Amino acid sequence: MVIKNIVFDIGNVLLTYHPHDYLMGRYSRKDADFLFNAIFNTKEWIELDRGSITEKEALEIFINRNPEKESILREMMDDFYNVFTQIESSVATLHRLKEQGYRLLYLSNIHIGIYEHVMGKYDFFGEFEGGIISADVKTLKPGKEIFHRLIDKFNLKPEESLFIDDTEPNTETAEELGFAVIHLQDPGELTGELQKLGI
C-alpha cells in the first residue's frame, strides 16, 4: 500500500527535548540534578501530559515536597517551555513532505501549556492538517486509545500511514495497529529512514 499520511511525534522528532542538558546549561550540576528529578522525572510530569493536573497544581506539589527550594522551582516552572527548540533538519523534511503532497498529522504526549507555546512560536505547525495531543484526550502513548482517537478523527487508514516517534513502545503500538513506522533514535537519520520507505 502506498503511504499517503505521515504522523509525527513532536518531542525529539521536530523539537529537541533534553531537559537535563538544558538545565546543565543554566545551573550548577547539583541544581540541575535536583530540578530534573524534582520536576521532569516525576509522576506529576506524566500527569501533566495526561491532562489530569494543571501546571499550577504540579508546582504546588513540587514545592510541598521541597519547600526550601521554592524559588528555584518557581523559576524553572516559569522557564521550562524553553527546553524545546526546533530541529532544523526535521523541519526541512516536513516542508518537503508537504510540498510532495503527503497528508501531515501529529500525535504527541504533551502538556496543554507546552503545546500552546510551541504552536505559537514555530511556524512549521502550519504544515499540519491537525493532530492529537495527550492532554486534550486524557490518554497517553503507547496506549492504543490515543491512536484510535487519531484514526477516527482524521479517518485514517493505518495501512496508508507512517508513524514517526523516538520512543520504541510507541512505534510498537502503531505497528500493531497497521502503521508503517520509523523508530527515530537520531533526528539526523530521518531523511535516510524515509528513503528506505521510498519517501
Out of 83, 102, 118, a domain closes at 83
List the CATH number of the domain containing 12. Answer: 3.40.50.1000
In a shared domain, residues 47 and 144:
no
Q: What is the pLDDT of residue 87?
A: 98
In a shared domain, residues 11 and 28:
no
In a shared domain, residues 145 and 157:
yes
- Closest by CA position to 107, among listed 127, 136, 83: 136
Domain that holds residue 36: 19-83
Domain count, the chain: 2
Distance CA 143, CA 141 (A): 5
In a shared domain, residues 110 and 33:
no
Average pLDDT, the chain: 97
pTM of the model: 0.95
Out of 33, 64, 83, a domain closes at 83
* Residue whose grid cell is 538544558: 22
In a shared domain, residues 107 and 166:
yes
Out of 49, 83, 117, a domain closes at 83
At 100-115, the pLDDT tens digits run 999 999 999 999 999 9
Quickly state the pLDDT bin for 32 (edges 50, 70, 90): very high
Q: What is the pLDDT of residue 163?
A: 99
In a shared domain, residues 90 and 155:
yes
In a shared domain, residues 78 and 146:
no
Segment 117-141 shows an average pLDDT of: 97
Q: What is the pLDDT of residue 29?
A: 98
Segment 7-26 shows an average pLDDT of: 97
> How many CB atoms within 10 Å of residue 80?
21
In a shared domain, residues 10 and 94:
yes
In a shared domain, residues 41 and 89:
no
- Closest by CA position to 81, among listed 43, 42, 106, 55: 55
At 47-104, the pLDDT tens digits run 999 999 999 999 999 999 999 999 999 999 998 899 999 999 999 999 999 999 999 9
In a shared domain, residues 117 and 68:
no
Distance CA 44, CA 59 (A): 9
Starting at the edge strand found earlier in the chain, the sheet holding 180-183 runs 130-133, 103-108, 5-8, 161-165, 180-183
In a shared domain, residues 65 and 109:
no
In a shared domain, residues 118 and 103:
yes
Distance CA 134, CA 112 (A): 9
Q: What is the pLDDT of residue 99?
A: 98
Give the relative orientation of helices 43-50 and 55-65 as an angle to the nearest 10 degrees: 170
Omega before 169 cis (within 30°)? no
